[in-house]
Amino acid sequence: MRLAFAAPAALAAALLAAPAFAQPWAVDKSHATVSFSVDHLGFSLTRGIFREFDAVIDFDPENMEAASVSFTIDAGSIDTFWEARDNHVKGADFLDVETYPEIRFVSKAVRLTGDDTAEVTGDVTIKDVTREETFTATLRRIGPSPFNPELTIAGFVVEGELDRTEYGVSYGAPAIGTVIPIRLDLEISPAK
């Protein structure tokens, strides 16, 4: 919503008076992906996904800055499309999934940066190390499903980077890339 023509005092009053009505929305896991890539010795990129994840999302399309998200990834669900490598990454050299089975993100703030973009800042926890990180969220589309007009769908791409060494995952660094690009593709709808 744009209030570009409001006087500064009126704008401030409107923002302070606007209630946050974020409601629970659910992820359509059949149309969601958590993916990443890792530089391998400067010769190639190894790509991977996490197959198991869950999210608790409160979202108000009219007040996106009131949104909040708690995202949990099953670290053992990593899939780099090569079983021996997956087993190594699950082990103590990397994620140590037996000791640290989850990767978590809990949002702290959402700040609009454009008509369809926002910065989402929150705490990422990997191997019991928690650090504040900021990701860019882009709204691809929001509207009724063409197959069910009673169902509203919002589609997002969330992107950012994590330095794995800051979370105690330093095996092979720097030959094996340390800054890991992360991408989440999500479809969400009001929870039933």
What's the confidence (pLDDT) of residue 28?
97
The pLDDT assigned to 9 comes to 37
Pick out the chain residues at pLDDT < 50: 1-19
Domain 20-190 adopts which CATH fold? Lipocalin (2.40.128)
| DSSP codes joined into one string, 106-171 | EEEEEEE-SSSEEEEEEEEEETTEEEEEEEEEEEEEEEE-SS-TT-EEEEEEEEEEEEGGGGT--T
What is residue 106's predicted lDDT score, i.e. its pLDDT? 98
Give exposure, 38-65, as e/b (b: 16+ Cβ within 10 Å): bbeeeeeebebebeebebebbbeeebbe
Model pLDDT, residue 16: 38
Domain ranges of the chain: 20-190
This prediction has a pTM of 0.86
Look at residue 20 in the predicted model and tell me its pLDDT.
52
Q: Which pLDDT score is estimated for 192?
A: 83
